[in-house]
């Protein structure tokens, strides 16, 4: 058994803590110096400041880690305010908090707190390096969203950080791009189309995907592996290929609906886009519901049958309440897929079915306006809320199945 204990022995100050913190300080100093046109001077000063901070923290033993970290952030923030205004204050505070936390983490020996006591220095190094790699991957996934959100509040009509924005002056920021988004038919009509198409497509995806997942979870179904591969293929096949195939399938179908049944052209266009988006959402529902069914106790359905319940009653009274978190999670993924999709709707839909992502794509090609960034920020916010909901449902599903949330 690998027992993990807290390792409280402090490492050597001069030979370990100060050089390690100095390296981080040099990295921050190089970036800061590059802003002022002197990267190597910043590199040297950053290394000196990092080493000095590690030495100072090692001598202040009567103050806890959090106050020292906060104090470091305040000092760096004040220095940043002096040399860079409000932008320097914000950046300096973040750098100071990071440097202070790292100096405390290394200097107190907490870097060994999450590993077994018998780990070699090389194993400890790899463990912490792996954690930092994961953190950097997460950062580089999230970082591109930050300029988009920031620029959406630009007071100017172009994609540029103005001096007023960088100085955090009030005149550099405005909500006019959000007013343009919420107050014009140019954006409200595509948003309305998205809010019509995505929920209906999600409902179809959830209904068909749930039934397919339940059927494929039965061990006696022949060829279920092949059927599973076919059903999740829209997730694997490149989207441009799927869109091309859908165009050649739905175009004749739309003509038949118009000529033979006399349906309205606009209505037929919505039907084609909804069905196409439902096809894209079904794989997500199948995968999430199948994962939920892995821990499902099938003796419950047999007990319900023994008590005289028919299959429909058993499904809605016994099975559905237990797999509902997985169904809702799959539905949320299907909704996000439909709401954010642009390639298929370009092939299958017409101008009357123009969705919000389509309008954003058109705007990028024809007129570069920060209103696109306001729309993107709203979409990102909605996606974050939906993903948080998915995570809460996942944890609830694990508790219902007797598993500890991981």
Q: What's the pLDDT tens digit per position in 322-346? A: 888 888 888 888 998 898 888 999 8
Residue that the structure tokens 């800061």 belong to: 32
Cβ neighbour number for residue 392 with a 10 Å cutoff = 14
Residue 221, pLDDT above cutoff 50: yes
Using DSSP's 3-state secondary structure scheme, residue 173 falls into: strand
Read off the DSSP letter of residue 10.
Answer: P
Residue 52, pLDDT above cutoff 60: yes
Q: Directed axis angle between helix 239-260 and helix 265-293, to 10°?
A: 130
| Mean pLDDT (whole number) for 383-401 | 75
Instruction: Say what the pLDDT of residue 282 is.
Output: 93
Q: How many angstroms separate the CA atoms of 57 and 52, rounded?
A: 9
- Residue 157 tokens read as 């009509």
Residue 222, pLDDT above cutoff 50: yes
Chain CA centroid to CA 301, Å? 36
Pick the most confident of 95-99, 199-203, 211-215, 314-318.
Answer: 199-203
Angle made by CA atoms 56, 61, 62, in degrees to the nearest 5: 125
Closest CA to 282 of 335, 225, 354, 353: 335
Q: How many angstroms separate the CA atoms of 178 and 5, rounded?
A: 52
What's the whole-model pTM score?
0.71
Residue 197, pLDDT above cutoff 90: yes
Q: Given pLDDT bands bounded at 50, 70 and 90, which one contains residue 361?
A: confident
Instruction: Say what the pLDDT of residue 48 is.
Output: 92
Residues 6 or more apart whose Cβ sits within 8 Å of residue 41: 33
Q: How many angstroms separate the CA atoms of 359 and 346, rounded?
A: 11
Q: How many angstroms separate the CA atoms of 404 and 344, rounded?
A: 39
Q: Directed axis angle between helix 265-293 and helix 185-216, to 10°?
A: 40
- Give bridge partners of residue 154 from the DSSP assignment: 173
Exposure b/e, 354-373, CB count within 10 A at least 16 = b: bbbbbbbbbbeeeeebbbbb
| Mean pLDDT (whole number) for 77-97 | 84
Residue 399, pLDDT above cutoff 80: no
Instruction: Say what the pLDDT of residue 90 is.
Output: 83
Residue 131, pLDDT above cutoff 60: yes
- Give bridge partners of residue 173 from the DSSP assignment: 154
Give the whole-number percent of the chain exceeding pLDDT 70: 95
Residue 376, pLDDT above cutoff 90: no
Residue 2, pLDDT above cutoff 80: no
Residue that the structure tokens 């060829």 belong to: 223
Instruction: Say what the pLDDT of residue 9 is.
Output: 67
Q: How many angstroms separate the CA atoms of 335 and 192, rounded?
A: 15
Q: How many residues does the chain have?
A: 406
| Mean pLDDT (whole number) for 399-404 | 60
Residue 274, pLDDT above cutoff 90: yes
| Mean pLDDT (whole number) for 13-32 | 88
- Residue 75 tokens read as 């000092």
Instruction: Say what the pLDDT of residue 6 is.
Output: 43
Instruction: Say what the pLDDT of residue 1 is.
Output: 39
Instruction: Say what the pLDDT of residue 3 is.
Output: 43
What does the mean pLDDT of the chain come to? 84
Instruction: Say what the pLDDT of residue 400 is.
Output: 64
Largest CA distance in the chain: 86
Q: How many angstroms separate the CA atoms of 291 and 113, rounded?
A: 34
Q: Given pLDDT bands bounded at 50, 70 and 90, which one contains residue 276?
A: very high
| Mean pLDDT (whole number) for 252-269 | 85
Cβ neighbour number for residue 226 with a 10 Å cutoff = 9
Read off the DSSP letter of residue 15.
Answer: I
């Amino acid at each position: 058994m690998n027992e993990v204990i807290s390792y409280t022995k402090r490492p050597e100050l001069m030979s370990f803590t100060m050089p390690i913190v100095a390296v981080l300080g040099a990295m921050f100093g190089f970036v800061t110096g590059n802003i002022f046109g002197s990267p190597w001077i910043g590199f040297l000063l950053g290394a000196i400041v990092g080493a000095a901070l590690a030495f100072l923290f090692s001598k202040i033993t009567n103050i806890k880690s959090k106050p020292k970290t906060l104090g470091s952030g305040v000092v760096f923030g004040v220095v940043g305010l002096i040399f860079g205004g409000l932008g320097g204050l914000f950046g300096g505070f973040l750098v100071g908090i990071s440097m202070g936390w790292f100096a405390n983490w290394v200097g107190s020996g907490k870097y060994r707190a999450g590993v077994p006591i018998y780990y070699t220095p090389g194993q400890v190094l790899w463990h912490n390096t792996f954690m930092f790699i994961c953190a950097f991957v997460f950062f580089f996934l999230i970082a591109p969203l930050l300029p988009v959100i920031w620029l959406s509040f630009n007071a100017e009509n172009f994609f540029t950080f103005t001096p007023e924005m960088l100085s955090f002056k009030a005149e550099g920021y405005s909500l006019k791009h959000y007013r343009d988004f919420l107050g014009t038919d140019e954006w409200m009509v595509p948003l309305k189309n998205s809010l019509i198409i995505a929920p209906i497509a999600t409902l179809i995806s959830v209904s068909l995907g749930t039934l397919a997942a339940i059927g494929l979870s039965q061990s006696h179904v022949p060829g279920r592996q092949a059927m599973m591969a076919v059903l999740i293929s829209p997730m694997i096949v490149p989207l441009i290929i799927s869109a091309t195939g859908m165009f050649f399938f739905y175009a004749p179908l739309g003509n038949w609906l118009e000529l033979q049944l006399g349906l309205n052209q606009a209505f037929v266009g919505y039907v084609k886009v909804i069905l196409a988006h439902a096809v894209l959402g079904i794989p997500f529902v199948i995968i999430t519901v199948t994962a939920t069914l892995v821990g499902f106790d099938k003796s419950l359905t047999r007990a319900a049958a023994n008590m005289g319940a028919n299959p429909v009653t058993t499904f809605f009274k016994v099975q559905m309440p237990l797999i509902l978190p997985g169904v809702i999670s799959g539905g949320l993924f299907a909704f996000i897929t439909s709401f954010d999709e642009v390639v298929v709707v370009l092939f299958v839909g017409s101008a009357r079915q123009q969705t919000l992502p389509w309008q954003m794509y058109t705007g990028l090609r024809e007129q570069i306006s920060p209103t696109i960034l306001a729309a993107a920020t709203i979409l990102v916010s909605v996606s974050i809320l939906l993903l948080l909901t998915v995570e809460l449902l996942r944890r609830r599903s694990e508790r219902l199945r007797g598993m500890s949330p991981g």
